[in-house]
Amino acid sequence: AQSVTQPDIHITVSEGASLELRCNYSYGATPYLFWYVQSPGQGLQLLLKYFSGDTLVQGIKGFEAEFKRSQSSFNLRKPSVHWSDAAEYFCAVGSTGFQKLVFGTGTRLLVSP
């Protein structure tokens, strides 16, 4: 069965600093991988996704993620964080065929001035 681990529950980053959120997955076949962002009390918005091809994926709002099969990881990065990036971030893995996403427990990002 698929599973996702986000080891960091909270992360605090200074505005303008770089960001990396960790995600490790477990899945027997080639995974579909996603990063979503959730503002308080809101639904989830897709930041980026990986299905195949180039392992470095660009997303919206200046985010990128790198798929590393050897490490079973799909870490999210941003070179310079803005205060508006404060939110909760979820990594998810989907199976081929029927798309049933399994989510990690999320990482809450706090941005300090």
Partner 1 sequence: SQTIHQWPATLVQPVGSPLSLECTVEGTSNPNLYWYRQAAGRGLQLLFYSIGIDQISSEVPQNLSASRPQDRQFILSSKKLLLSDSGFYLCAWSHKTGLNTEAFFGQGTRLTVV
Name the site residues for partner 1 (rule: CB under 8 A). Answer: 6, 9, 32, 34, 36, 41-46, 49, 51, 90, 92, 94, 96-106
**Residue among 58, 51, 60, 61 at smallest CA distance from 81:** 61
Residue number, 10 or 14, with CB nearest to partner 1: 10
Give the integer Cα–Cα distance in Å for 20 and 77.
4
The amino acid at residue 111 is V
CB of 63 vs partner 1, minimal distance in Å: 15
CB of 101 vs partner 1, minimal distance in Å: 5
| Assigned token pair, 103 | 């989510």
CB of 94 vs partner 1, minimal distance in Å: 7
The upper half-sphere exposure of residue 64, i.e. CA atoms within 13 Å in the direction of its Cβ, equals 10
CB of 100 vs partner 1, minimal distance in Å: 6
Residue number, 9 or 113, with CB nearest to partner 1: 9
Bridge partners (DSSP) listed for residue 50? 33
The amino acid at residue 9 is I
Residue number, 13 or 91, with CB nearest to partner 1: 91
